[in-house]
Amino acid sequence: MKKKRFLILGILVVLVAAGLVAYRAIASSQSAAASDVQTATVERGSLDSTLGSSGNTRTGQSATINWQTSGKVGEVTLQPGDTVQEDQELAALDPTTLSADTLKAKQDLIDAKQALEDLLNSKLLQAKALQAVEDAQKAVDSLKQTAAEEASQAQLALAQAEDALADAIKTRNAMNYPHSSDKLTLEKAETDYLLSKQTYKEAQKEYNKWAKKKLTTPERVQALNRLVTAKQDMESKFAKYNWYLMNYTDNEIAQADAEIAVAQANLEKAQTDWGRLKGGSTSAEIALAEAQLADAQREWERVKNGPSQDDIDAAQAAVDAAQATLDRTHLLAPFGGTVTEVDVNTGDLVNTGDAAFRIDDLANLYVDLQISEVDLANLKVGQQATLEFDAIPDKQYAGEVTEIGMIGTVSQGVVNYPVTVLITNADQDIRPGMTAAVTIIVAQQDGALLVPNKAIHTNNGQKTVTVLFEGQEISIPVTISLTGDTMSAVNSDQLREGDAVVISGSTSSTTSSSTRNNFEFNGGAIRDFGGGPPAGIP
Residue 534 has pLDDT above 60, yes or no: no
Residue 303 has pLDDT above 50, yes or no: yes
Find the length of the chain.
538
| Domains in the chain: ranges and CATH | 47-57+364-528 (2.40.30.170), 69-93+330-359 (2.40.50.100)
| Across 491-510, average pLDDT | 78
Residue 526: what pLDDT? 39
Question: Looking at the DSSP assignment, which residues form a beta bridge with residue 40?
Answer: 501
Of residues 156 and 97, the one with the higher pLDDT is 156
Helix 124-174 / helix 250-277 crossing angle, nearest 10 deg: 150
Contact 286, 177 (CB under 8 A): no
Q: Over range 494-506, report the average pLDDT.
A: 84
In this structure, the strands spanning 472-477 and 510-512 are parallel
Rounded alpha-carbon distances, angstroms, from residue 91 to 39, 77, 78, 102, 321: 71, 8, 9, 17, 21
Calculate the CA dihedral of residues 374, 375, 381, 386 and round it to 10 degrees: -160
> Across residues 93-114, what is the average pLDDT?
74
Phi, psi of 285, deg, nearest 5? -65, -40
Q: Tens digit of pLDDT for each residue in 404-431?
A: 999 999 988 899 999 999 999 999 899 9
Answer for the pair 358, 46: CB distance below 8 angstroms, yes or no.
no
Average pLDDT, the chain: 80
At 310, which amino acid appears? D
Q: What pLDDT is recorded for position 367?
A: 96
Give pLDDT, residue 517: 41
513 neighbors 500 (Cβ within 8 angstroms): no
- Is there a contact between 237 and 193 (Cβ–Cβ < 8 Å)? yes
193: which residues sit within 8 A by CB, 6+ positions away? 234, 237, 238, 240, 241
Q: Is the pLDDT of residue 315 over 50?
A: yes
Q: Which of 140, 393, 136 shows the shortest CA–CA distance to 280?
A: 140
Residue 495 CA from chain centroid, whole number: 64
Q: What number is the average pLDDT over the span 179-207?
A: 86
Q: Name the pLDDT band for 522 (thresholds 50, 70, 90).
A: very low
| Per-residue model confidence (pLDDT) at position 393 | 92
Q: CA torsion, points 295, 300, 303, 306, in degrees to nearest 10?
A: 180
pLDDT at 280: 56
pLDDT in tens, 348-399: 999 989 999 999 988 889 999 999 998 888 899 999 999 999 999 999 999 9
| Predicted pLDDT at 37 | 79
184 burial via Cβ count (<10 Å: 0-12, 13-18, 19+)? exposed
Among 95-99, 125-129, 166-170, 228-232, the minimum mean pLDDT is found in 95-99
